[in-house]
Amino acid sequence: MMQSRVIGFENEVTGGNVSDLKQTPLHELHVELGARMVPFAGYDMPVQYKLGVMKEHLHTRAKAGLFDVSHMGQVIVTGADYAAAARALETLIPVDILGLAENRQRYGLFTRDDGGICDDLMLANRGDHVLLVVNAACKDADMAHLKTLEPAVTVTPVTDRALIALQGPAAEEVLAALDPRAAEMAFMDVATLDLDGVEAWVSRSGYTGEDGYEISVPEGAAQAIARRLLDHDAVEPIGLGARDSLRLEAGLCLYGHDIDTMTSPVEAALGWAIQKVRREGGAREGGYPGAEVVMRQMRRGCDHLRVGLRPEGRAPMREGVELFAEPEGGKPIGRITSGGFGPSVETPVAMGYLPTDLSAVGTRVYGELRGKRVPVTVTALPFIPARFKRKPAKAQA
């Protein structure tokens, strides 16, 4: 029993003693709220609070959850103007940054020369600069990578701000009570809001499949803002455990698991993130590391694809479970990259890679669990319908 393994976190645990762990500006609040703390990407982070992973997950989908994501890296890139910064970033990131409208955000990837992904991130056009949000475990490598763009642009890590996510159907009501302009934002809009006199850099986005916001505030004000949001009846604090089950049901990739240096954007089924203008024949085609590989895969397809997977029965299939084409015999054809029980869908859910000819929705394969082959069906992602407050199509930038 005590060999109990908290799954999905071990890869993020960096070496060194627990005493070497960094703390976010909300650390004291987590402890006060009774969080169970675990090492994650070099930080002492809350994996769950008193409600527990299951109830925290369901609460976020029903009302609103508050997440401390201050461990993630915030980086400002400036140039002579926004366009100069965007052009420089486009040499590392295969998405349309130049064409991103002011006060809009989009998803992006850092690629390598072989087409592998070194990180995924969010990019926002904040007028005179680009604001990036990168994964905690990758932020040092990303900074080194970004520094290669200097001196054409200036790359500045933001180390004095916390990042708080407020996610769920009640998020709008909760944040709009502090600044009504929150309600006017659409999915992937960014704005500077005034939360009790504190300057907050806010995006209407998240990592749960729900409507919600990510809120960057000065570290000294973070606890007060978090407490103010938690004062609302609809809001509960949510740990990394539920953050993982929420993003999994939403079909969102976790870097280091579902995507890494061995997977390309095309294999990862993230081709949608590469806008037409950066694709073959586009006005600014290629020009990023691995462009040849990515464009060839977009043209001809690739051998393996990331898919959604629904195991039969109740047994969760976790990362590392091998997939087979047949109920017995044969060699593994693929592998689960993240999986667990989906509290909202009430079945096990997973993502993994399969050969392209076995990747169509409805295809049945088998996962090997404790020596037994259990049927697994390829399923469309996300597992739950996304509930973003999208901008009407005609008004879309």
Partner 1 sequence: MKFTEEHEWLRPEDDIVVVGITEHATEQLGDLVFVELPEAGATVVKDDEIVVIESVKAASDICAPLDGEIVEVNEALADNPALVNEDPLGNGWFFKIRPADPEQMDGYMDEAAYKAMIA
Q: Give the span between the Cα atoms of 333 and 364, in whole angstroms.
A: 12
Provide, rounded to whole angstroms, the least separation between the CB of residue 77 and partner 1: 35
Q: Which of 241, 265, 289, 352 binds partner 1 (CB under 8 A)?
A: 241
Site membership for partner 1, residue 55 (CB under 8 A): yes
- Give the CA diameter of the chain: 65
Q: Which of 201, 207, 288, 341 binds partner 1 (CB under 8 A)?
A: 341
Site membership for partner 1, residue 247 (CB under 8 A): no
Site membership for partner 1, residue 39 (CB under 8 A): no
Site membership for partner 1, residue 345 (CB under 8 A): no
Site membership for partner 1, residue 13 (CB under 8 A): no
Q: Which of 98, 131, 242, 274 binds partner 1 (CB under 8 A)?
A: 242
Of 4-12, 86-94, 136-144, 269-277, which part binds partner 1 (CB under 8 A)? 4-12
Sign of CA dihedral 251, 255, 259, 265: positive
C-alpha triplet 117, 118, 123: angle, nearest 5°:
90
Provide, rounded to whole angstroms, the least separation between the CB of residue 7 and partner 1: 6
φ/ψ (deg, to 5) at 10: -60, -35
Q: Which of 124, 154, 122 is nearest to 135 (CA)?
A: 122
Provide, rounded to whole angstroms, the least separation between the CB of residue 283 and partner 1: 45
Q: Give the span between the Cα atoms of 31 and 152, in whole angstroms.
A: 43
φ/ψ (deg, to 5) at 153: -135, 165
User: What contacts 357, CB < 8 A, 6 or more positions away?
Assistant: none
Q: Which of 39, 343, 352, 367 binds partner 1 (CB under 8 A)?
A: 343
Q: Which of 13, 22, 54, 141 binds partner 1 (CB under 8 A)?
A: 54
Provide, rounded to whole angstroms, the least separation between the CB of residue 311 and partner 1: 11
Please say whether the beta carbons of 15 and 209 come within 8 A.
no
Binding-residue total with partner 1 (CB under 8 A): 29
Site membership for partner 1, residue 12 (CB under 8 A): no
Site membership for partner 1, residue 17 (CB under 8 A): no
Site membership for partner 1, residue 227 (CB under 8 A): no
Of 44-52, 122-130, 220-228, 256-264, which part binds partner 1 (CB under 8 A)? 44-52
Provide, rounded to whole angstroms, the least separation between the CB of residue 238 and partner 1: 12
Q: Which of 205, 314, 210, 321 is nearest to 257 (CA)?
A: 321
Please say whether the beta carbons of 199 and 216 come within 8 A.
no
**Would you state the structure tokens that stand for residue 84, as one six-digit string?**
């100069």
Site membership for partner 1, residue 209 (CB under 8 A): no
Closer residue to partner 1 in complex, CB, 141/345: 345
Strands 64-68 and 235-237: parallel
Closer residue to partner 1 in complex, CB, 53/175: 53
Q: Give the span between the Cα atoms of 123 and 94, in whole angstroms.
A: 12
What are the beta bridge partners of residue 195?
198
Binding site for partner 1 (CB under 8 A): 1-9, 47-48, 52-55, 57, 241-242, 244-245, 314-316, 318, 340-341, 343, 348, 370
